[in-house]
Structure 1
Amino acid sequence: MHHLILGAGPAGVIAAETIRKHAPGDQITLVGDEREPPYSRMAIPYLLVGDIGEPGTYLRKGADHFAQQRIELIHAQATKVDAQGKTVTLDNGQTLAFDRLLIATGSHPVRPPIPGLDLPGVDTCWTLQDARDIATRAVKGARVLQMGAGFIGCIIMEALQKRGVQLSVVEMGDRMVPRMMGEVAGNMIRDWCERQGVRVYTGHKVERIEKGEGDALKVHLSGGTVLDADLVISATGVRPAIGFLEGSGVQCLLGVLTDDCMQTNVPGIYAAGDCAEAFDPFTGKTIVSAIQPNAADQARVAALNMVGQRAALKLVTQINVLDTLGLISTSFGNWQGVPGGEHAELTDTAACRHLSLQFKDDVLVGCNSVGLTDHVGVMRGLVEGQIRLGDWKDRLLKDPMRLTEAYLARAQGQGDWSGAADARRR
């Protein structure tokens, strides 16, 4: 049996290792589209700060790890999948046959249609090569403009600020992290960043980038503002890297559609990670949730099914925990609320603290928090456990800060008491 895995990020690596554990005699080929050893993109900010070197980003530290696992590693990019013929064509001219295929190609940065985006000094922050390019320009005192203040943008911003640059952030939304936070929370994060010395332009677009004096750039914003920059970083979001599947017969919407076994509409072809649009039993919908815990869970489920062991995804985790220049914010589940639901909100602007709870009947279905870390484990337990709160819902509507009490009171009777110890620790 030949298992072909496209994508050498966390999902691809975990899937390959899981297959090897359960099918020691099968052939495994792992295809990664970069020349680097398989690495974690989430480690790039730590590389930029200088906390780690490039080897610290590698997913597996041993140089011969994949050889020892008898996993063939090919550096190439898939250009075509023939689902009926069970072959994949690579950009190096190879055509690989497979018995089982896992699509774990992840995401790629969104490229906005902005004139000047190809100029020297304009980079994404997505690959190790991007990190090398950024490090040469993002020196202390350099003028850096970042486009985008979403989740990924805020992580990059943290690394840039620690490098001592003069940082400006432009976000077209009316608040920071608009896909994770409501208006109150997003603006609270913006105010915090400005107090840390970052200039934030929400509700603005970059209209064009021009060459300035020497190696500098001139960045024109909507409304007429012009900013000088030594480096421009585009962090305007990502989308699943699935263009090579066009015409393959594998069904895609935003991502590659899968069932709860991570199998696509084509038997024997699976998907996992940032490129997968997985069925979430919790919401009854298909969701692309590009976070590493999902990649790991989906990879294991896909791998087990690829070797003939039935496994199903319990849920698609919708969790974001973000450290923005020292301010912790979280988002769980349906943080925007659901039709007909109720909500409770608590805000202390002076202390930079905010809590928003969303209910459907007596179940907490989503929440946001800023500046509050004590309830992170409890919020996750309540949302993912679908704990029925009973009369505790009314108490939380009056006082949202009683989350831990509600969890401890209600989880035991519903078979979720195992999380209570973790709730106390948090």
Structure 2
Amino acid sequence: MAMKYVVIGAGPAGVRAVEALREHDPDGLITLVSGEPGEPYARMAIPYILNGSIDEAGALQRKTPLHYETLGIRYLNRKALRVQARPTGGTVELDDGSTLDYDRLLVATGSSPSLPPIPGTDLPGVVTCWTLEDARAIADKLKPGARVVMIGAGFVAGVCMKALVGTGVKLSVIAGRAGQILRTMMTPVGSRMLQRWLEGKGVEVITSGRTERIEPGPRLVMDTRTIDADLIILATGVHPNIAFLEGTGAKIDQGILIDDRMRTTVPCVYAAGDVAQGRDFSTGEWVVHALQPTATEHGRIAALNMVGKDVPYRGSLSMNVLDTVGLISHTFGEWKGREGGEVVELTDEARNLYTRLCFHGDRLVGAITIGQPRHVGALRGLIHSGRALGEWKAELMQNPHKVMEAFVGLTHA
């Protein structure tokens, strides 16, 4: 009898999962459920839609017409309201009143924007920067001279900024009381460099004051000033989409807890992507890595285990890549450093170059670079391999820019 697979969420994890399920189970009944209208698209493509680099069709994850139908995958634009789980399967209740039976369920529902705890977030002219619908609302306001205020200065804000600068809008970014942009992925030294870069591009970065409310207009009211705007963008972080799992017994921490086979604590239910709290390669701890490559690999590994193959997940390397209006930064692994380890930094503010290497013993465990894209592959390779650096550690402590030479030298040793 054919197995019934249901995958909730049509982001990178869900799409890769259904493809892998079909590859390894030609006869299985596979249903992919998307909570958004239209074909599955790549959320990271939204900035390119906003700046006109691509149209909405260019954001589709798979460009081949009838891709899912050709694979025999049923695709539904519905929201999951509730999951019921039994030892051998269960059901998913959808928002149109229908029910899907499953033998194996994959939850790959990703995240939604977390709104700041202030009045006025539901007013006209106030949007998030997360969906295609958001992109349309933002694009409608991107006219030269328009006043755009962005609340939040983390990764989501950084991605969105790239699309706004250069459109002629007057952009103000509210970093809040933290006083530092990108503080969850960058040291203060790196953040200051990126802030100066943004200010040089005409962005007003506000790092002091408390946001109190949004008034009609829209108008942003802080304890230190009031800012009139044509558009206010909320970019204050995200939270996992897991409400429909209430009552299943699935354990939740930062995300859905999974084991190294992508299984949740509920029989026959798996999780992947931004919603899953999986293994960190560097530390062995269980964390949420909101990265597209991680989501894609999660989906593939989950599918293999759902069809009965015993495939452990090695863990994902924490990595962020951000294009801050033309200045590229990367963070890898334990970029804050490890207790008992050593750290070396090299800063060239005039040229907007920054390199930070973090060692534990004679191994590289974390790194940050700004304006050094040629180092990226070497850094990732050295950290992910866990290779002993030997005499190269002293070289790198003296000159962090020798990362490529070290990688090549160790690879051919």
Q: Please indicate the TM-score interval, normalised by the length of the shorter structure.
A: over 0.9
Alignment-derived partner of residue 129 in structure 2: 125
For the pair 1:176 / 2:177, whether they are aligned, the reply is: no
TM-score by length of 1: 0.93
Q: For residues 326-383 of structure 1, what are the alpha-carbon distances to aligned partners after superposition, in whole Å with 9 as ceiling and x for unaligned? A: 1111100010011111100111112211111111111111011112222111111111
CA distance in 1, matches of 2:356, 2:243: 38
| Matched-pair contact (CA < 8 Å) for 1:171–1:205 | no
CA distance in 2, matches of 1:10, 1:153: 21
Unaligned runs of 5+ in 2: none
The residue type paired with residue 344 of structure 1 is V
For the pair 1:93 / 2:97, whether they are aligned, the reply is: yes
SS in 2 for 1:244: helix
Note the 1:13-412 alignment, pairs <5 A.
Answer: 13-84=15-86, 86-172=90-176, 173-211=178-216, 216-222=217-223, 224-412=224-412
Q: For residues 370-398 of structure 1, what are the alpha-carbon distances to aligned partners after superposition, in whole Å with 9 as ceiling and x for unaligned? A: 12222111111111111111232222222
Q: For residues 43-79 of structure 1, what are the alpha-carbon distances to aligned partners after superposition, in whole Å with 9 as ceiling and x for unaligned? A: 1111111111111111122342211111111111111
| Matched-pair contact (CA < 8 Å) for 2:335–2:365 | yes
SS in 1 for 2:140: helix
The residue type paired with residue 64 of structure 1 is L
CA distance in 1, matches of 2:361, 2:208: 35
Q: For residues 170-191 of structure 1, what are the alpha-carbon distances to aligned partners after superposition, in whole Å with 9 as ceiling and x for unaligned? A: 1122222111100000111001
Alignment-derived partner of residue 10 in structure 1: 12
CA distance in 1, matches of 2:412, 2:262: 32
Identity of aligned residues (%): 47
Root-mean-square deviation (CA), in Å?
Answer: 1.3
CA distance in 1, matches of 2:63, 2:395: 50
CA distance in 2, matches of 1:78, 1:55: 25
CA distance in 2, matches of 1:12, 1:203: 40
| Matched-pair contact (CA < 8 Å) for 2:149–2:171 | yes
Question: Which 10-residue stretch deviates more, 202-211 or 383-392?
Answer: 202-211
Question: Which 10-residue stretch deviates more, 87-96 or 119-128?
Answer: 87-96
| Matched-pair contact (CA < 8 Å) for 2:280–2:318 | no
The residue type paired with residue 164 of structure 2 is L
Unaligned runs of 5+ in 1: 414-426
The residue type paired with residue 401 of structure 1 is H
| Matched-pair contact (CA < 8 Å) for 1:175–1:203 | no
The residue type paired with residue 12 of structure 1 is G
SS in 1 for 2:165: helix
Moved over 3 A (4+): none
| Matched-pair contact (CA < 8 Å) for 2:85–2:267 | no
The residue type paired with residue 305 of structure 1 is N
The residue type paired with residue 201 of structure 1 is I
CA distance in 1, matches of 2:263, 2:301: 10
SS in 1 for 2:321: strand
SS in 1 for 2:373: coil
SS in 1 for 2:351: coil
CA distance in 2, matches of 1:323, 1:227: 27
| Matched-pair contact (CA < 8 Å) for 1:277–1:286 | yes
SS in 2 for 1:407: helix
Alignment-derived partner of residue 419 in structure 1: none
Q: For residues 113-133 of structure 1, what are the alpha-carbon distances to aligned partners after superposition, in whole Å with 9 as ceiling and x for unaligned? A: 111111100000111111111
SS in 2 for 1:73: strand
The residue type paired with residue 148 of structure 1 is G
Question: Which 10-residue stretch deviates more, 61-70 or 158-167?
Answer: 61-70
The residue type paired with residue 200 of structure 1 is V
**Displacement after TM superposition at 1:16 (Å):** 0.4
Q: For residues 179-216 of structure 1, what are the alpha-carbon distances to aligned partners after superposition, in whole Å with 9 as ceiling and x for unaligned? A: 110000011100110011000012444221112xxxx3
| Matched-pair contact (CA < 8 Å) for 1:347–1:354 | yes
Q: For residues 144-171 of structure 1, what are the alpha-carbon distances to aligned partners after superposition, in whole Å with 9 as ceiling and x for unaligned? A: 0011121121111110113221111111
**Displacement after TM superposition at 1:281 (Å):** 4.6
Q: For residues 385-426 of structure 1, what are the alpha-carbon distances to aligned partners after superposition, in whole Å with 9 as ceiling and x for unaligned? A: 11111232222222211212222222345xxxxxxxxxxxxx
SS in 2 for 1:338: coil
**Displacement after TM superposition at 1:111 (Å):** 1.2
Question: Which 10-residue stretch deviates more, 68-77 or 84-93?
Answer: 84-93
**Displacement after TM superposition at 1:279 (Å):** 2.0
Q: 1:329 to 1:281 in 2, by over 3 A?
A: closer
| Matched-pair contact (CA < 8 Å) for 1:346–1:354 | yes
TM-score by length of 2: 0.96
CA distance in 1, matches of 2:180, 2:42: 28
Q: 1:334 to 1:281 in 2, by over 3 A?
A: closer
| Matched-pair contact (CA < 8 Å) for 2:355–2:367 | yes
| Matched-pair contact (CA < 8 Å) for 1:170–1:205 | no
Q: 1:328 to 1:204 in 2, by over 3 A?
A: farther
SS in 1 for 2:148: strand
CA distance in 1, matches of 2:281, 2:158: 30
| Matched-pair contact (CA < 8 Å) for 1:140–1:164 | yes
The residue type paired with residue 17 of structure 2 is A
SS in 1 for 2:350: coil
